[in-house]
Amino acid sequence: MRITCLVSILLLFAWFKTSATIPQQFSVKAGYIVDHGSKWELKEVQQQKTKPFEIGQKINLGYNRNDAVWCYFKVKNNDTTKAANVWLCFDNYHIDSLTIFDQDQVFLMGDRTKGQSTFMSTMGYPLHFYPGQERILWARLTKRTSFFDFSFNLASTSQLEAQSSKKMTWIAFFIGIAFLLLMINGILLAMTRNRLYAYYIGYSVLTVCYVVVTTNFAKHLLFPKLLLLSEIRIFSGALWYIALSYFLCCFLALKQHQPFKYKIINLLCGINLLLVLFSAILLWIYPTFDFRYFFISGYVIFMLAIVVLFWASVAHLKVERDQAIYALLAFAPQLAWGGCLILKTFEIIPYALGDSWMIFASLYEVFLFGAVLSRNYVEVYLKNTQLMQEVILEKENSLRTINHVQLRERRNIANIIHDNVGSKIAHIMHLFDMKNAKLAKQNIRELASDIRDISHKILPKALDEGALVSSLRSQIAILNAGLDDAEIELFCYDFPERIEEKWIYDLYLIALEAISNSFKHGKARLVTIEFYGYADSYHFQFTDDGCGFDVQQTGMGFGLENMEKRVGYYQGHFEISSVEEEGTVIQIVIPA
């Protein structure tokens, strides 16, 4: 963001042209006269009285239709010892035609001609003077249909070369950056299929077209023989702004957050698009048609759209602050340019910000949004990468937990076998050594019964048939038989006796784990287990009257974490609440 703003500021300073100084050895006297309807020839103009015309003075005809301006120049080389060269320059390089009448020579250049200026920064005509020579020239400037203004000055070859090189370098540099951002966002479009990148690419391409035409880059370097650059400039500018409006609608998600403003912007863009199409068709069929009201309507709608988008950006501050700030930053120079243009069109103010400001605004937006979209994707990518790492870490922890559980359960099985089965087998072998086969057979029968009981304790066979409640009742009966001052109770409410769910094995082990924790850690005297059956879920509650603990400070131990993971595997909900000296409650909800 900082780099984008810095580049934009550099562009702003680079674009403001300083006034060219007149070579000291020259003096000029000039005048002009407006030829309404372009009716006069040179001989008729020479008989007319001209108005004074000073260097740098702006001649502004406003909206023009087939008018011409004739300019008279008397230029003198004041140096009587040296010959000198100078250029007569006109700052508007989008004049349809500029005809220079220099004694017997006639030179033609302009947008609607095949002739072009030597320099990109101006329309210039070269003049060579002998020592002390004075020359009189006439110039005829025409603009078929559009706003028409210009000024003139005298400049040396070195001045114009420096200006053109500077301008050409900056335009090429920033267009290069724009295409780099286009390439990046094109890749992001291919990767994400997000239409926001498509809108950005479309509007950026139109921006580059508008800048290339408006800065004279296209006429000077790319298409010197093309005669419709003035129209391309106007239409590309209109389409560029329509594309920008749709991009901002998508960027701010106005359709979801501000549907009313979204509809207004859609309507305004639709009207502007129709104006572009109608004017293009009329221009092709009736080249002399008066487009005055098309231009004025387009500018008014253009300004209304700017205001609505600015309003929407301000309102969006409450939804997504960063996105809204980016949109407001992009609109700041454009709002100033559009406002001045409208006020100047209706002659409320004398001057408007020039094309240079609009070029700055358009390139600024391309850089700003290109950087923002690229940065947003990088942030999302980094967040996704971090999330993937967290998921991987969580899986590793889950696997580690499963290994711990398996190891603990294997140790429990090993202890049971060692303490019960191992000692009885040793006793049976001793009875066989003592030749007491009868007593040995009796111990073998008891050992088989013990092994069956152990297998039922580990995982009752009835669970394979879905008998969760009966399996747990049998185990609770065995546990109650071994308790002196404590008791375990099991209650079922609309809970089926048999249930075909994979989680019954895990819930059986969870119930035994909860009972064990209540007596081992909670010192409980009563453990109550409640099962509830509902149409869409199953609820389980384990309550004890033990010593309890502070969940916030103590946290869940290994056993409780293992319970939560098992429940989470089946998209269930696990919740534990406990108060010191008041007992503990564990609640589990598993979807049906």
Q: Are 518 and 579 in contact (CB under 8 A)?
A: no
pLDDT over 50 at 20, yes or no: no
pLDDT over 60 at 21, yes or no: no
Bigger pLDDT: 262 or 410? 262
CATH number of the domain where residue 510 is located: 3.30.565.10
pLDDT over 50 at 1, yes or no: no
CATH number of the domain where residue 142 is located: 2.60.40.2380
Residue 53 and residue 179 in one domain: no
- pLDDT tens for 197-234 read 888 888 888 888 888 887 778 877 777 777 777 777 77
- Give the pLDDT of residue 211: 80
The torsion angles phi and psi of 373, rounded to 5 degrees, stand at -65, -40
pLDDT over 80 at 411, yes or no: no
- Tell me the two tokens of residue 278: 């109608």
CATH number of the domain where residue 223 is located: 1.20.1070
Tell me whether residue 3 is in a domain: no
Residue 264 and residue 360 in one domain: yes
Residue listed under structure tokens 């870490």:
393
Residue 225 and residue 370 in one domain: yes
pLDDT over 80 at 556, yes or no: no
Alpha carbons within 13 A on the beta-carbon side of 332 = 10
Which of 99, 121, 155 is the last residue in one of the domains?
155
Alpha carbons within 13 A on the beta-carbon side of 53 = 26
pLDDT over 50 at 384, yes or no: yes
Residue 53: band (very low, low, confident or very high) from pLDDT cuts 50, 70, 90: very high
Residue 571 and residue 528 in one domain: yes
Euclidean distance between CA atoms 341 and 147, whole angstroms: 11
Average pLDDT of the segment spanning 424-442: 75
Nearest to 370 by CA among 252, 189, 197: 197
Average pLDDT of the segment spanning 499-506: 84
Residue 403: band (very low, low, confident or very high) from pLDDT cuts 50, 70, 90: low
Bigger pLDDT: 48 or 334? 48
Euclidean distance between CA atoms 245 and 199, whole angstroms: 10
Which of 342, 361, 377 is the last residue in one of the domains?
377
pLDDT over 70 at 331, yes or no: no
Tell me whether residue 16 is in a domain: no
Tell me whether residue 221 is in a domain: yes
Mean pLDDT of the chain: 80
Residue 332: how many CB atoms within 10 A of its CB?
A: 13
Bigger pLDDT: 319 or 553? 319
Bigger pLDDT: 397 or 564? 564
Euclidean distance between CA atoms 122 and 107, whole angstroms: 15
Tell me whether residue 273 is in a domain: yes
Residue 347: band (very low, low, confident or very high) from pLDDT cuts 50, 70, 90: low
Average pLDDT of the segment spanning 121-137: 90
pLDDT over 60 at 8, yes or no: no
Tell me whether residue 319 is in a domain: yes
Tell me whether residue 390 is in a domain: no
Residue 19: band (very low, low, confident or very high) from pLDDT cuts 50, 70, 90: very low
Residue 561: band (very low, low, confident or very high) from pLDDT cuts 50, 70, 90: confident
Read off the DSSP letter of residue 417: I
Residue 72: how many CB atoms within 10 A of its CB?
A: 19
Residue 194 and residue 316 in one domain: yes
Residue 247 and residue 268 in one domain: yes
* Beta pairing, strands 97-102 & 105-109: antiparallel
Bigger pLDDT: 507 or 339? 507
Please list the residues that pair with 147 across neighbouring strands.
63
Q: Are 527 and 542 in contact (CB under 8 A)?
A: yes
Residue 215 and residue 193 in one domain: yes
Range of the domain at 37: 24-155
Bigger pLDDT: 323 or 514? 514
Residue 174 and residue 270 in one domain: yes
- Give the pLDDT of residue 4: 47
Average pLDDT of the segment spanning 124-135: 91
Domain count, the chain: 3
- Give the pLDDT of residue 17: 43
Residue percentage of the chain with pLDDT more than 90: 16
Q: Are 368 and 329 in contact (CB under 8 A)?
A: yes
- Give the pLDDT of residue 15: 45
